[in-house]
Chain A
Amino acid sequence: MKRTPARISQLFFLALFLILFTQTEYRGKDEINAAVNSFFRVNPLVLFSYLLAAKTWTWLLLPALLMTVATLVLGRFFCGWICPLGTVLDLVTVHIRKSAPIKALGGNTKYWLLLPLLAASLFNLNLSGLLDPIAILLRGLTFLLHPLLGLAAQESWVSLYHLIGERRDSIAPAYTLVHDTLLPFRDTIYPLALFSAAILLGVIALERFETRAWCRHLCPLGTLLGWLGSFSPFKRVPASLCADCGSCRELCPTSFTGNNLVKEECVLCMDCQRDCPHERITFRPGLALKGLGPVQPGRRVLLGGLAAGVLLAVPAKFRYPERVSRLLRPPGVRSEDEFLKRCVRCGECMKVCLKSALYPAAYQAGIEGFYTPLLIPRLGYCEYNCTLCGQVCPTGAIPALPKASKQREVIGKAVFDKNHCIPFARKTDCIVCEEHCPIPEKAIRSREVTVIGADGLTRTIKEPYLVEEICNGCGICENVCPLESKAGIEVFAVKNRTPISGEPASPYSS
């Protein structure tokens, strides 16, 4: 990589992305001040699909509005100066030999991706996060690469213990430092891990055909930024290859396929200006020349894209009812519909979740809920005093709530299964769920009952019962139930998620 301002900026933002990624974790403080959500809050694709789907404004996305304005003025600089996925592509592409570009990807393909996504958003199906480049990178890291790194480190650390025992303690400070700064706290295996990594690798593999093939022909964020940037008064002069030179074609990473610069694909890296042998190239504001004004996809693409969006939006809503009964959302999500309109599916809540309770939905929430977070209590529960998922959610789909409010938000309601629950089924004491129930007044309580045990003897045991009105569905009861496999108490989703006591203002009013 050459040391140009654009390259330095790219490396800076990639480093920032990775630092914020490792910061998106509990580090001994209840608040996370800077998280990787910044990259989504500054993301116009997130903004547009949010506005279309939620049909309301949120101040969380003010940075994205500013980015939109900056792009309207300057052009598509995000892709050449900031985008961490673009930087990853630039870093690897020099090592990948190119064959010919894929023809099918050219032309209007990118609009056929962007427009249906935006149109579907208008009809309350917000899937733009599935193809958002930052989300693709983040999910690949969160669901596979980071856990893999953690697992490898953890396994080596454990094998070291089996090899040398307590002498391992002598290097423990070094491991603790690495563990506390870089590695995930616990090993978590995520569903869709391979799929997420495959998408990321697929984007990288496209470099086999063409430099920045993903960015030029597919990326919906890039397409949106390109379209916005085409309104920019800044022009590259000259707008086409010079008859006597043509070096630009070699220098340009994106927009010279033919003889003319494709303005909406220009990522403003300025390499052509810097390296022009004749020093002829400038980027300067000017009046729109004929034929070089804002690009508009053809009417057919526009209408077709809209229609595709509508067609996508309706059938994607199908859900199997039995799956919905266990579809538990992060705390503060009161309405499934409002949640789906806002969720970017970026995976940050799942990354930050203290007890690894949140996992990406593969099939549980239907097509419309693909990759949205769902709480699986048997794997992890919602920690009573933790509010991190709401803090890192870039759009407020999971509302950022103060601790006292979050503790009252209802995720679901616990239900005893008396065929499994130990005091009911086996007539012996247990009450582990009551012990762990974090509600100060205890949503799980017990009473002494006299029973005849399996041995025919009469004894007094404690039988648990639920005080449903104050159960917030955190799932710790199901998590700690000492039964193997199926728990004797399980949390089920409920439609009415009115907070358990005291009604704070709706978390969605901003």
Chain B
Amino acid sequence: MNRRTFLKASGAASLLAPVLIREAFAAKEQSLVAVAEGSDYPAITRKAINAVGGMKKFVKPGDVVVVKPNMGWDRTTEFAANTHPQVVRAVVEECLAAGAKKVKVFDNTCNDARRCYVNSGIENALKGMKNVECKHIETERFKKVAINGHFLKEWELYDEALSANVYINVPIAKHHGLSKLTLGLKNIMGIMGGSRGYIHRNIDVALADMNSHFKSHLTIIDATRILTAHGPQGGNIADVKVLNKVIASTDIVAADAFATTLFGLRPADIPVTVAAYKRGLGEMDLGKIKVVKA
């Protein structure tokens, strides 16, 4: 069984009996969210990863890994519109240390790709690293894939994400005008092509569709600084709050649910989180999530 058939099967299964599956998982393993705090961002990133089992648990020698940060906006690091370059670099280094053959870092940007890659600081942070690619999106690599979701029936997804052995989702926690917050579940849009604005018409269901079709093996939320208003691109330093936190979990919904609390909100306030929870993609009940300080 290769990865894609596994995903298809698990997607289909989750459609048929989401509640049962959730219960089954809950019985076996409690969702674990690791939170590391400190001003040394590479160090706290490593701590968070180690607290959920270490990168070797996810990346096997010879694997091709996609690390998907948020670098969609032409804003510099301090504006908290893109994932912190040091966090991205630390994740990439951990992947390489675990034996990854190749690590690919990209995003389907909203502003000019060149400016986003440069001004996010991510391209420069990865410069010169062996076996690491930080290339712009090439539109011909989007492949139409059957999603068979409630809202999205099929969509164009990026082939480098589809063919990777491991997909690590590295969003920044920030405010969003429509979905209130953008976290792990929404960061998946970076591998989507086509007219992404269409998704906005039913964003909660669309993102649940996407995340049940395409799973993140590990979600690492950059909350070193968060954007509290005028998201997703901000631009005003007054909207930025420095928290010096990095969150990691294999349960994307749990990671998002915990990150929501950093904004003074409850997971139930975020329709995207609720939709994903109802779909059985993870746990959003903070009482059932095991939060460990890393």
B200 adjacent to chain A (CB < 8 Å):
yes
B118 adjacent to chain A (CB < 8 Å):
yes
A501, B118: Cα distance in complex, Å: 28
Residues of A within 8 A of B159 (CB): 166
Q: Which stretch in B84-92, B107-115, B273-281 binds the other chain?
A: B107-115
Q: Which stretch in B4-12, B215-223, B226-234, B248-256 binds the other chain?
A: B226-234
Mask, A414-441, CB within 8 Å of B = 1, is 0000000010000011111011101111
Residues of A within 8 A of B230 (CB): 440-442
A185, B176: Cα distance in complex, Å: 30
* A482 touching B112 in the complex, CB below 8 Å, given contacts A158-B140, A429-B178, A439-B235: no
A434, B239: Cα distance in complex, Å: 16
* A480 touching B74 in the complex, CB below 8 Å, given contacts A26-B114, A386-B115, A439-B235: no
Residues of B within 8 A of A26 (CB): 112, 114-115
A442, B178: Cα distance in complex, Å: 13
A355, B114: Cα distance in complex, Å: 10
B152 adjacent to chain A (CB < 8 Å):
no
A167 adjacent to chain B (CB < 8 Å):
no
A432 touches B200 (CB 8 A): yes
Mask, A470-489, CB within 8 Å of B = 1, is 00000000001110000000
Does more than half of chain A's interface fall in helix, strand or loop, or is it mixed? loop
Residues of B within 8 A of A385 (CB): 74, 115, 119
* A432 touching B235 in the complex, CB below 8 Å, given contacts A158-B140, A385-B115: no
B112 in complex: contacting residue of A354, A431, A439, CB < 8 Å:
A354
Residues of B within 8 A of A440 (CB): 230, 234-236, 239
B2 adjacent to chain A (CB < 8 Å):
no
B201 touches A429 (CB 8 A): yes
Q: Identify the closest chain B residue to A176 (Cβ).
A: B135
A446 touches B177 (CB 8 A): yes
Q: Identify the closest chain B residue to A27 (Cβ).
A: B114
Residues of B within 8 A of A446 (CB): 177-178
The residues in A between 455 and 510 inclusive whose CB is less than 8 angstroms from any CB of B are: 462, 480-482
B197 adjacent to chain A (CB < 8 Å):
yes
A24, B68: Cα distance in complex, Å: 31
Residues of A within 8 A of B15 (CB): none
A89, B159: Cα distance in complex, Å: 48
A439, B141: Cα distance in complex, Å: 32
A428 touches B201 (CB 8 A): yes
A271 adjacent to chain B (CB < 8 Å):
no
Of B163, B202, B233, the most chain A CB neighbours within 10 A belong to: B233
Residues of A within 8 A of B74 (CB): 383-385
A482 touches B233 (CB 8 A): no
Residues of B within 8 A of A429 (CB): 178, 200-203
A432 touches B115 (CB 8 A): no
A436 in complex: contacting residue of B140, B203, B233, CB < 8 Å:
B233
B197 touches A430 (CB 8 A): yes
A258 adjacent to chain B (CB < 8 Å):
no
Residues of A within 8 A of B141 (CB): 161
A434 touches B177 (CB 8 A): yes
Residues of B within 8 A of A435 (CB): 110, 176-178, 200, 232-233
B200 touches A161 (CB 8 A): no
A299 adjacent to chain B (CB < 8 Å):
no
A28 touches B114 (CB 8 A): yes
A24 to chain B, nearest CB (A): 15
A2 adjacent to chain B (CB < 8 Å):
no
A162 adjacent to chain B (CB < 8 Å):
yes
Mask, A375-407, CB within 8 Å of B = 1, is 000000001111000000000000000000000
A120, B174: Cα distance in complex, Å: 56
Residues of B within 8 A of A462 (CB): 177-178
A271, B189: Cα distance in complex, Å: 65
A482 touches B195 (CB 8 A): yes
Residues of A within 8 A of B163 (CB): 166
The residues in A between 344 and 394 inclusive whose CB is less than 8 angstroms from any CB of B are: 354-355, 383-386
A430 touches B236 (CB 8 A): no
A428 touches B232 (CB 8 A): no
A176, B119: Cα distance in complex, Å: 20
* A422 touching B201 in the complex, CB below 8 Å, given contacts A383-B74, A431-B177, A440-B235: yes
Residues of A within 8 A of B111 (CB): 383-384
A438, B74: Cα distance in complex, Å: 9
Residues of A within 8 A of B198 (CB): 482
Residues of B within 8 A of A386 (CB): 112, 115
B110 touches A436 (CB 8 A): yes
Residues of B within 8 A of A384 (CB): 74, 111, 235
A434 to chain B, nearest CB (A): 5
A384, B235: Cα distance in complex, Å: 10
A428, B141: Cα distance in complex, Å: 31
B118 touches A28 (CB 8 A): yes
Residues of A within 8 A of B235 (CB): 384, 438-440
A428 touches B202 (CB 8 A): yes
* A432 touching B114 in the complex, CB below 8 Å, given contacts A161-B140, A166-B163, A385-B74: no
A482 touches B200 (CB 8 A): yes
The residues in A between 142 and 160 inclusive whose CB is less than 8 angstroms from any CB of B are: 158
Mask, B153-189, CB within 8 Å of A = 1, is 0000001000100000000000011100000000000
List 20 extra interface pairs beyond A161-B140, A432-B197, A435-B232, CB under 8 A: A158-B140, A185-B114, A354-B114, A354-B115, A355-B112, A383-B74, A383-B115, A384-B74, A422-B201, A428-B202, A429-B202, A430-B178, A430-B200, A431-B177, A435-B178, A436-B233, A440-B234, A441-B236, A442-B230, A480-B110
A residues lining the B interface (CB < 8 Å): 26, 28, 158, 161-162, 166, 172, 176, 185, 354-355, 383-386, 422, 428-432, 434-436, 438-442, 446, 462, 480-482
B residues lining the A interface (CB < 8 Å): 74, 110-112, 114-115, 118-119, 135, 138, 140-141, 159, 163, 176-178, 195-198, 200-203, 230, 232-236, 239
The 4 closest A-B pairs by CB, nearest first: A482-B197, A440-B235, A440-B236, A432-B197
